[in-house]
Amino acid sequence: MSEVSVASAVSATTDGAAARPLCVDLDGTLVKSDTLVDSLLLLVRAQPTQAMRAPLWLRGGKAAFKAWVASRVTLDVEHLPWNRELLGYLGAQRAAGRRLYLVTGADASVAQRVADHLGIFDGVLASDGATNRTGNHKLAGLRERFADGFDYIGNARPDGPVLAGCGEAMVANPTRALRAMMRSGRISVSRRFEDRTGRGRSFLRAIRLHQWAKNVLIFVPLLLAHVLRLPLIVNAALAFLCFSLCASATYIMNDLLDVEADRRHAKKRFRPFAAGDLPASAGVAIAAVFLAAAFTGAAFLPRGYVVWLLAYLIVTLAYSLRLKQVALVDVLLLSGLYTLRLLAGAAAVDVRISRWFAAFSVFLFLSLAIVKRFSELRNLQAQGETPANGRGYVATDTEQLRSFGTMSGIAAVIIFTLYINSGETVALYRHPGRMWLIVPLLLWWIFRVWLLASRGELNEDPVIFAVTDRMSLLIGLCIAIVAVLAV
């Protein structure tokens, strides 16, 4: 922090306030997330069988429960989503010689590790396995320790009694419930430390609205069947919406389970849950509502669609919990999920997918899934970093992945050429020979994707790249025109 910032922070504090110790809450205040929830998510990820025992420990009280969770996992405190504005203020107060204390309902072991990491606190007051240091229990502990008074910074409704009983009250990212309590109790606040993105923007980022582009594959079976009737179009649109809602729910669940790993990632640390801009409880609620809406809508479609939607949910959860950590199995599953979208789209409009198209899609999507992993490793190499996301790959796997991926892409094109010469094309196209013009376009796009990936110029998600890259869109338009001319 600059000398001017330090001076302004010090001058804003009266002599009387400077003499009082400044006590700071942890969860939602100093950090924008809840360390207990973060630890529980880590427990579900690392020790799912132990996580199932968590409700049994709640019978012993919340303090004992926090101690049990803290003893099972070690939270990465270094990469917690800090409230940077508050952290800067505390640094200035510390530099001015003020005593700082971390006072939290989190378990003492977690609080002490946070204090040790920051190195700015003179002491810690936290839950100890017997006493849950929140609300009135926190206030009693502070009055016992600081008989001459203290100042306090909190964020949520349980901090209300402490804010009412302290010398100078300050808040950081205050919740609506706390703001209402302060208004009704006429608690005056001297400072606010706001460090969070708007909830609306965070919501849109959490559901990954841009990823809905992948679900356009739902419409492909209807287009290829050449039966564009209004009832079928409506079914396909409803299937697209239901699949997108289900996909967003799985993205949220994946982000919640990956929250600690994402915080170590250069880009993923800005995701809403990793950054603390959305609480995990909101994520769970959004996912539940989206899943309920998805399967309610699916009930109006043919039964086969519901089966594929449920299969997508199960496979995606298995992928998020464990299978994405197994090298090669992860890319096979990713490619399978793309193909599953096609099967779901076919079931929604009750058409049959050609065996040629099924084989083509398997190899094409396998190539795209592999290029996603290749791009991740290649970008890490360019940054001089080593893979640390538990994917099961090492930096030296790039050449082997390049080989697997390019072969899969070429195999897809070969299958397409065999399809052109098959009897099925005659039934659907009056000029099947014109379909040969699609072959060089497919090769051009596949080779271009891999060339850009090798140069480190590819977004890690090739499907999103395809719908945002001008050249890819132009190639897609040319393919569509050729297909129309062949009908």
Instruction: Write down the pLDDT at residue 7.
Output: 41
Q: Domain 199-486, what fold?
A: Farnesyl Diphosphate Synthase (1.10.600)
| CATH number of the domain located at residue range(s) 3-193 in this protein | 3.40.50.1000
Q: Which residue has the tokens 């100093």?
A: 30
The residue ranking higher by pLDDT, 423 or 275, is 275
**Where in the chain are the domains?**
3-193, 199-486
Interatomic CA distance for residues 1 and 88, integer angstroms = 7
107-127: pLDDT as tens digits: 999 999 999 999 999 999 999
Mean pLDDT computed over 268-278:
94
Interatomic CA distance for residues 236 and 242, integer angstroms = 10
Q: How many CA atoms lie within 13 A of 245 on its CB side?
A: 18
Mean pLDDT computed over 5-28:
68
Evaluated on CA atoms 396, 398, 401, 406, the torsion sign reads: negative
234-259: pLDDT as tens digits: 999 999 999 999 999 999 999 999 99
The model's pTM is 0.84
350-360: pLDDT as tens digits: 998 888 888 99
pLDDT above 50 (res 167): yes
Please report which confidence band the pLDDT of residue 1 belongs to, taking 50, 70 and 90 as the band edges.
very low
pLDDT above 90 (res 48): no
Nearest partner of 259 among 229, 284, 234, judged by Cα: 284
Please report which confidence band the pLDDT of residue 387 belongs to, taking 50, 70 and 90 as the band edges.
low
Mean pLDDT of the chain: 90
